[in-house]
A and B are shown apart, each in its own frame.
Chain A
Amino acid sequence: MTRARLLLSLLICLTGAAQTAHADLRLVHSERSLYREVLVYENGDVRCMCFTRNCRVGRQSCIDTRHPDRMVMHYPRMMLGALYVNPAPQSVLIIGLGGGTLPRALRQVLPDARIDVVEIDPAVVRVANRYFDFGESDKTHVIESDGRVYVKRALRGTQRYDLIMLDAFDHEYIPEHLLTQEFLQEVKSLLSPQGVLAANTFSSSRLYEHESTTYESVFGKFFNLKRDNRVIITRAGALPDAARLRTAAEQFVSAFRPFGFDATEVLPLFTQTRDWDPGARVLTDQYSPANLLNLER
C-alpha cells in the first residue's frame, strides 16, 4: 500500500519535472557545422550554447541576457583564479571560444592585454558574436585553427603568453591530441617565464587519474580546483602559497563584482591534494585513448 503510494507520487513528480523541463527551454537558433550542431537555448533570461540536444548537461557557455557581465556558470570563475597566480598578464591565449565568456571577462579586467582566441569551428565564432555579445576588437583576435596546430606554429615564432587557458573539452568528446604529455610540454614552452596555465577539464571518470599523472609529469605540482568541473591551474615555476593567493585575490574583488561573485570565494577550492592513483599511465601522443578512458566510470 505505502509502496504503491510512493511509486505513484514518484511518478507524478517525474512527469511534472519532465513537463516543466520542456516548457522552459526554448530553442533559439541551431546550425550545423563541419564538427557538430551548434544550438542556442533560452530559459528565461539565461541563454546557453550547447553542442547537444540534451542541453541540461551539455551547456558549453551561458549568458544572462539582462546582465551580460554576470557569470552564469561556475567554471569561468575558477578559471579566472589563474589571475591570482599571475595578476597582470600582458598576453593571453585561450584555446576554445565557446560563448566567449572568458575573453569578454578578461577584456574588462585587463584592458591593455593582447588576447588571442583559437577556435576550430567558424560556426561557434559566428554564434558567439551574434548571441553571446562576443565581438572581436583591436586587442582580441580570433584564430580559426586546431589548438595543437596553432600552438606548434606559435612556438616557431617569438610570441610567448603570460596566461594560457585551455577550454576545448566537453562532456562527450575530448580532442585526444590536446590531452597528452607532448601537448602540455608544448604549452609549457609557449608560456613566458612567469606564465600560468589554466585548464578546464571534465574528468570524473577513470580519465581523472590519467589526466592527473599527465599534468604532473609536465608541471610537477598544480592547483586542483574541483566543483562541478575540474580546473587545473599551474605554471612552470613554484606555486604561490595561500597568503599570496589571498593578497592577489583581494586585488580583484572590485574588478570581479560585475561578474556577480566575490573574487575570494574561489580561494578554498585551491587544493594540492594528490587524490589520484600515481601509477596511472601517462597519456602521450603514442598512448592517448582519452575518450575510451572517459567511458569507464
Chain B
Amino acid sequence: MVFCGQQREQSVRTALAYVIAGWSGFFVMAVELLGGRLLAPTFGSSIYVWGAIITVFMLALSLGYLAGGRYSMNAPSVRRLGALLAIAALTVVPLLIVAEPMLEALSIAVPDPRFGSLLSAFTLFFVPTFFSGMVSPYAVRLLVEDRRSSGRHAGQLYFVSTFGSAAGTLLTSFYLVLLLEVNQILLALLMVSVAIGITAWFAHAPRNENDQ
C-alpha cells in the first residue's frame, strides 16, 4: 500500500516536472515574440531589433541554466520547480505596467536604435528569461534516478521543453495576436504559469519531503 502510494507520488512529480518544463518553453518563446511587438513602436522592427531581443533571451537563458543547475544541488523538489515558474511569470508584471514610459526614456537616453533596443530588451526581458532558464536543469535533477537513464531523461526533457517552445511560437504568431492584445496575452501566460506553480506547490505533499 505504502509502496503504491509512493509510486503514484513519484509519477505525479515526474508528470509535473515535464509539464513545467514544457510550459516554460512555451512561455519563453511567446514572451520573446511579444517583446518584438513591444519594442517596435519605439525602435522599429528591423533585423537588429530582433537581434537585440534574441541576444538578451539567449544570454539570460544561458545564465539561467547555470543558476538552475546550481540551485538543484540543495534539497530539490517539485515545489521549488513550480516556484521558479511562478517567479519567472511574476517578473513579467513590470512589463505590463511600465514598458511604454521605460522604452520612451531609454530611447532618449540611447538614441542609436541598435544599442537602445539592446538595453531595452535587457531591462525588460532579462529577469523573467533568466528564471525560465533555471527550470530545465532543475527539472533534470528531479527526473534522473540513475546514471544509466540520465541521458534518456535529459533527452525527453529537452524534447518537451523545445516542443513547448515551438508550440508557443506558432500559436502566438499565427493566432493569439489576432485574438488578443499584447498585454492580454502576457497576462494569460502569467496566469497559466502561476496556476501550474500553485498546483506543484500543493501536489507536493509534506510526507514526500521525509522520503528523500
| A interface residues (Cβ-Cβ under 8 A, vs B) | 34-35, 120, 146, 148-149, 152-153, 156, 175-177, 180, 182-183, 284-289, 292-293
Q: Is B177 an interface residue (CB 8 A)?
A: yes
For A34, list chain B residues within 8 Å (CB): 46-47
Contact A146 B177 (CB under 8 A): no
For A156, list chain B residues within 8 Å (CB): 108
Q: Residues 23-55 of chain B: 1 if any A CB is under 8 Å from the residue's CB, otherwise 0?
A: 000000000000001001111111100000000
Q: Which 5 A-B pairs have the closest CB atoms?
A: A146-B44, A286-B181, A177-B40, A289-B178, A287-B181
For B41, list chain A residues within 8 Å (CB): 148, 152, 177, 180, 182-183, 285
For B174, list chain A residues within 8 Å (CB): 292
Contact B46 A289 (CB under 8 A): no
Query: What would 24 A/B residue contacts be, using CB atoms closer than 8 Å?
Result: A34-B46, A35-B47, A120-B44, A146-B43, A146-B44, A148-B40, A148-B42, A148-B44, A152-B42, A152-B107, A156-B108, A175-B44, A177-B41, A177-B44, A285-B37, A285-B40, A285-B41, A287-B177, A287-B181, A288-B37, A288-B177, A289-B177, A289-B178, A292-B177
Excluding A177-B40, A180-B41, 5 further A-B contacts by CB distance (< 8 Å) are: A146-B113, A152-B107, A175-B44, A182-B41, A287-B177
| B interface residues (Cβ-Cβ under 8 A, vs A) | 37, 40-47, 107-108, 111, 113, 174, 177-178, 180-184
Contact B177 A149 (CB under 8 A): no
For A293, list chain B residues within 8 Å (CB): 178
Complex Cα spacing A120 to B40, Å: 14
Number of A-B contacts (CB under 8 A): 57
Contact B43 A149 (CB under 8 A): yes
Complex Cα spacing A285 to B40, Å: 9
For B183, list chain A residues within 8 Å (CB): 286
For B43, list chain A residues within 8 Å (CB): 146, 149
For A289, list chain B residues within 8 Å (CB): 177-178
Min CB distance B120 to A, Å, is 13
Do A177 and B45 form a contact, CB below 8 Å, given A156-B108, A286-B183, A288-B37? Answer: yes
Contact B181 A120 (CB under 8 A): no
- Which of A35, A148, A149, A293 gathers the greatest number of chain B CB atoms within 10 Å? A149
Complex Cα spacing A34 to B184, Å: 32
Complex Cα spacing A156 to B44, Å: 17
Complex Cα spacing A24 to B113, Å: 43
For B178, list chain A residues within 8 Å (CB): 289, 292-293
Complex Cα spacing A183 to B45, Å: 14
Complex Cα spacing A287 to B34, Å: 11
For B47, list chain A residues within 8 Å (CB): 34-35
Complex Cα spacing A284 to B182, Å: 10
For A146, list chain B residues within 8 Å (CB): 43-46, 113
Do A149 and B44 form a contact, CB below 8 Å, given A156-B108, A288-B37? Answer: yes
